[in-house]
Structure 1
Amino acid sequence: MLILLNLRQRNIVTLLLERRQFVSVNELSTIHHVSKRSIRYDLEKIEYYVEKKGAKLLHERLQGVRLVVSNDDFKPKYEESNYNKHLSPTERKDAILKYLFEKGQPISSNKFAQLLFVTRRTIVEDLKEVEKWLIHRNLALDYVQNKGFVINGPEQVYRQSYVEVASQQHGLNDLPKKLTVLSDHEFELINNSVTEKLNSLNHRIINSAKNGLVFHIAITIHRVKNGNEINMPIQELESLKKNPEFMVAKQIKEDIEMRFELAIPEAEIGYITLHLLGAKMLSPDPSNQSLENASFSRHVKNFIQEVSFQIGVDLTKDNDLYQGLLVHLRPAIHRLKYNLHLVNPLKNEISNQYPDVVEVVNNSLHILEEAFEINFNTDEQAYIALHIGSSIERQVDLDDYKIKVLLVCGSGMGTSQLLKTRLERYFHEIEIEDTYPLYDITESYLQEKKIDWVISTIPTKQFSVPTIKVGPFLPKEDRDKISSLMNIQREKVTSDVSVGPVLGEILTPELVSWDIEASDWMDAIKLAVNLLIKEKKVTQEYLDAIMQLFDKHGPYMVIDKGIAMPHAKPSDGVNSLGISFIKLKNPIAFGHSASDPISIVICLASTNAKIHLNALRQLTKLLKSESNLEDIIKSDKSTFLKLIDKVSSL
């Protein structure tokens, strides 16, 4: 049977040949912007293909795949005339864009039909999709009579879109090796020039940023040679000259001119400067104490504080988050100001892993957007959500999730103590609740003490919780048995913490009060917390902690116009997850000039940094617009409870 590889599969083979080590399915999925299932299908075809060529594809469950070849000269030969017949519509669209950008000259529909081995009618349909893609980026697909189709538009946008097409097909790390605008030798000259200048000037940037800069310069050379020069307003260029990156860009430009014997316009220095400004440094120095940096730092802290209020978790003390955002946002702001689009290969995965965090970040980014006069695109939003999600993960200590175990021993206290000691030595998550005679154990006792497992040295009946029979010396086979069950428990804990209950499971009718009269803000907070105290969700200590926070930080809990969400730390007297909701009969001032008066008080009590996020996201959906808020204020408790049921299913 003849096996033909499509473009993506060929690129995977090339990558595996270059790496000569294991590459994970997840990384391949990220690079090529497809699901892991698609990659596994690709690997099945690749495995059969390379075996026919005398090579072997190794699979390791934890490491991924590796291509093993019999000699270093192994180079798969592809039948171009056959491979192109198997491109999908999306792959044909990408191929057409790549041809158009690299050629820079009109290409006829008949030529595309020959290149891609499809009918001219198919190409006409593909070109419609190409045109939609270009229009979305303010470019045009023009037809030159008797010659064909060509891309036209502002030179800066043209180049940015060219980079976008190439990076989506190949990934930034492999970008310079995959393009045909210049020869391999010319790419090597550019790479050497950039590397030498960056090193000599001690301006070290991350590898993907350096590869992006190399490709940018390659496009610059290609376009300048063909008479396509870029312009930059004089005022903007003069402003960029104030940055130290401009001198780095100038030296790179002069070195490139010498190596290629080519005159490059001064405006190109400006765009190289922008790339350097938009690149992450390998060793950034956030200690600069200039007034500008002090202002920048303040806006970042305000953003973190806003996110903290929105999610009910204090992230303001996480210095790793603060420093990480400082390092990320400086180049990101330059990218956004000058429309240097950065493709985020993890965007979909971040959205799937942290949907609640992405929503909170999007609701809070107005602080940075207003401060720096920019608009965050979805790729940049996802990167920031990753920083916030990582911070939340750091707040959640899974070691706090102890597995409560009841021991049953039939050989006396000495045996039970030996078993207890060995269990605690090998399994830190286990917390021994007690040692009990078998005949005294009842289901009511297990439920009352919240027992997770029963571990016994003698045969027992089956209880409602897992029951494990072990030897008193806890031999290896028994430890393996417990480890297996422990792994299942860890996965369950992680899943429970990641997903969390829906709003209707937490905000129950007894925790909702309507048209309540309060004398002042203190009284309003007490009324909201008392609902949780009554249901034994929190203790009096929680109310005291909230009041202390108010005294220290002011009306920190006011999260939006008309809404306050008082909360404290899990360690401040939280027994179990709970949310109370009070709609005040008469709005009350909390001392927040922008959002007073307050009509709704939501008290959040969470046992950790993540478990409440799903419910909070659903509550935010109810309250996120002024019209929704006004409708809720005008409604009654029964109507509100119906809304909770509805949003809990989303």
Structure 2
Amino acid sequence: MLTKRQLDVLQYLMEQNDYVKVEDLKSKYNVSNRTVRHDLLLLEDWLLKYQIRLERNRKKGVKLPLTEKQMKLLLQETQNKPLFFHNKERNKMIIKALIEESFVSSDVIQEELQVSKSTFLQDLKQVKKWLNEKGLNFVRNKGDIQLIGNERMVRAAYIDLLREQFNDQHIFQLFIRGEGSEVLVSPWKEWFPLEDIYEISQLLHHLEEKLSLQFSDSSFSALSLHLLMAVQRLKEGHLIQMDQELLNELKNKTEFSKVKALILEPLQLLFHVKTPEEEIAYITQHVLGAQREKESDDEEDDFYRDLALEIMKNVEQRYNQKLMNQDKIMDGLSIHLKPAFYRAKYNLQTKNPLKDQIEKIHGALIQMIDEETNRVLEPFHIRFDRDEICYIALHIISGMTQPVLPLKYKIGIVRSSGLGTSTLLEQRMATLYPQIISIKKYSYKEIMNATSFMEDLILTTIDLPIQNQIPVIKVSPLLTKEDILKLTPYIGEPHQAMHEEGMLMQVMNNIMSIIENHAIINDEKGLTRDLLHFFQGNQSTNQDKELSQLLSSKNIALQKELRSWQECIQYGNQLLIQSNCTSIDYGHYLVKLAEQPQNHFVIAEGVAFPHATSDAVIQTGLSLVTLKKPLVFGASKKKVWLIATLAATDRTQHIKALSTLLELLSDPLFMSKLKYETNPQNIWKEIVKKEGEKG
């Protein structure tokens, strides 16, 4: 959609029979040269839809030659053309203008947006809020709006704005392959000249070659965005400042001299910009902080291998278990630590798109890895944020399950953020599918350039705009239950059952019975809880909740007369919905799982324990339903009279509750009372009493 000013420029060009100079357009519309060039690029792109070309002449300017038929067409298209921008679009346009121009005219931009003064003032409030979050601000003076803030923060905000506009797939395809459809390329024209994008992409490929390294896909695109943005800022004369001590430190790095030799002259020749040492130093920071695909032969790498080893040993000590595949973890972790160290040091840490999912599944374990990693880094005055810790965790988690020997089925794995994601995915696949052989790990560049494959299936953690002769399936590196369902038509059901909590409850019942036969248990509840934590791979934390906290009397329904096992599940979930623990989708998902032959929902005689990891879980909770008449439950074909439905947001905070529940399920007196009781409050009081007995 064209703005009012761009439509005005178009109509003005339509009226002229000759070339119009950029300077004339600048004066006529009271905007900068950059804004004129930007408007002309968008007009040029818009005109191509009607097979009309804008003529350019470096000396004369621009001209719009039209036939009579073309003139009528454009008049028809531009007359009474509606102009409307959503408030988010308006905010983005104002921020973009401020970052690109440093100051803009209130009247000009308000007219361009076609909004009232009151609406424009509301937009400015939202713009100010966004800028404040980035450490920036603006001031209004005599009708102008001026951006306030240091250059480093302006550039960081610029990158954030670009990231909001373009997803990884667009960035990978354009920067890494240097190509794209008209639909893909068109939005970039609003920001940068396409020739700049292609030149910078080639410059970075040359840098990789000369430095004998290969950046990960995400690091390559991040470096590309940084260089593209930096060039635009330098063109406008915005130079970045750096602390002299930090500048001297970077100048002593071998990467600085290499970057200077390889990038300085091309930047100046290609873009005609002055490139001071500070700019080379900032590019060096990004090169140091960029994730590599493989380890280099740099002697400095020994330092990061030592850090990786210390982190691994500390985690093993806290975890109280040896990690599997230690050499593989060491290699991946040490490769990751070097750029991560520099990212933290230079405040370049990035967002981890898997952080929420990882923390949801491995909550307490992530906290432990956070503590041990940052304890190792403390002497160097470096601290990793939670996003970086979750990347570290991907490497460590991959060693917490014994791998299964591969057999028959061949897969390839595509990843974009480094070795950790692919290593974890490979380990999860090997554990769940013993018939799997992992043939190759592809980068985005490699998979897009591949012409033949040895694999039967390609798994990817990013979107791939390709059609291959073999199936390509997008999954999470954590391989969720939803991912497993997507894989089933291709490679069958997983070897390891999906319902780990149910299996664990069965195993725990058996273990406790064996221990009771051979020893006196002084603290049955404590032993059960500790064993549950051990088998879950988690550390006990103060986030553990008591059973009475997760199971209120309102979530207990007794002596119900229900017609089917499906109704039992839905009833139990309805109690959780009323407690704001789940949505209705959770009940449907549990029914679907219970229909599968390999489900482990029946954990003891007469007892079903439906549960799952699902996005339909809002907060951790439990419900209990007893039946007046037992019913055959799901594919198990076993009769149950008690349905305990669990909804969990992670694998930790319900462990204490499960240990109490196991103890109660093993208590004949409690089970007898539960089977015939009609008052939920009485059962809840028995639970509280049991918790009090063990403190």
Q: TM-score, normalised by structure 1?
A: 0.49
Q: TM-score, normalised by structure 2?
A: 0.46
